[in-house]
Amino acid sequence: MEFTAQAIASFLGGTIEGDPNVEVHTVAKIEEAFPGSLAFLANPKYTHYIYDTKASIVLVNADFEATHKIDATVIRVKSAYEAFAQLLTMYAEAKQPKSGIEQPSFIHETAKVGTNVYIGAFSYIGDGAQVGNNVKIYPQVYIGPNVKVADDSIIYPGVIIYQDCVVGKQCIIHAGAIIGADGFGFASQEDDNYKKIPQIGNTILEDYVEVGANATVDRATMGSTILRKGVKIDDHVHIAHNVEIGEHTVMAAQCGVAGSAKIGKNCMFGGQVGIAPHTKITDGVKVGAQSGIASDIRKENVMLLGSPANEILKARRSIAIYNNLSELQKRVNELERTVKKLSDRLTSK
């Protein structure tokens, strides 16, 4: 499909600078764009690309000020990044949607399946499971007994959802993710062995949650592990048993959240952040990559960095000192030698 700059500007509520009739049929990164493609400029680091990009149309922020001639047609919008996301959503939805039930697949006779669903080949839907309307279940998905998947959710290939778990509406679970595996619960015995503690709870993903590829969200020992409305977790994130994550919190790849941690809403975690068990983190906390949180964070909207994590200004000072340790060591050694010489002189007198 092709869209003109005028049609795109009307859809986004933007203003055009250039040819309103120029057409695009695909999207591309601004540095790799070609004629017939649409790109966007949101990060100032990429500004220089706009002057020689081959894109036919470029979305820019309303306050963008050009310093050179731009060959592409420019559409000014309130937020180029958000506008581009809107267009990508429209582009994805315009593709031919999947529908129907492929064979071979298994749907238990007691399972309930809504209308306009897609169930891919080799998928399994267990006893008492409920699948809502417009749900897309790609090939080789396992949906266990009594699982509930609400309307408009998408479950990509190879996902496993264990018994009794709940998936809200418009959730996305990417390939290989596992929802509701047993929490890591073991009791030490006198003979140094460990006895498994049955994990009889479940996992709940509320509405609009997205789970990355190969991520794992364990079931609770008792009660529920809960990802609240709008939570987004990246690939290879691990959420342990009885964790609760507040609304619209996001986690980058390889974060690990230990058992019974409670995380507030609107938090942001960089890659490989580790969170200790039973930790409580309040709303709006932002944590830099590879940080470690070992105790409660009670101050809202604070930025943290390091392991153990500290407020970012203190952490940066610590990092600066650490980077100069070799020089500081030389100075301390020199001072020790000077003190020893003075001490030896005093002793000799």
Give the whole-angstrom CA distance, residue 53 versus residue 284: 38
Helix or strand run (H / E) with residue 286: strand 286-287
CA distances from 60 to 4, 40, 56, 295 (A): 17, 6, 13, 42
Around Cβ 250, how many Cβ atoms within 10 Å? 18
> Residue 27 burial (CB < 10 Å; 0-12/13-18/19+)?
middle
Question: End-to-end alpha-carbon separation of the chain, Å?
Answer: 96
Residues designated catalytic: 241
Please list the alpha-helical segments (H only) found in the chain: 5-12, 80-94, 312-323, 325-348
Report the DSSP pairing between strands 286-287 and 268-269: parallel
Give the whole-angstrom CA distance, residue 119 versus residue 141: 9
DSSP string across 307-336:
TTTEEHHHHHHHHHHHHTHHHHHHHHHHHH
Query: What are the tokens at 339?
Result: 């003190």
* φ, ψ (nearest 5 deg) of residue 217: -125, 105
Sign for the pseudo-dihedral over CA of 14, 16, 20, 26: negative
Q: Which single residue is written with the structure tokens 């409920």?
A: 130
- Answer whether the bond into residue 139 is a cis peptide, omega within 30°: no
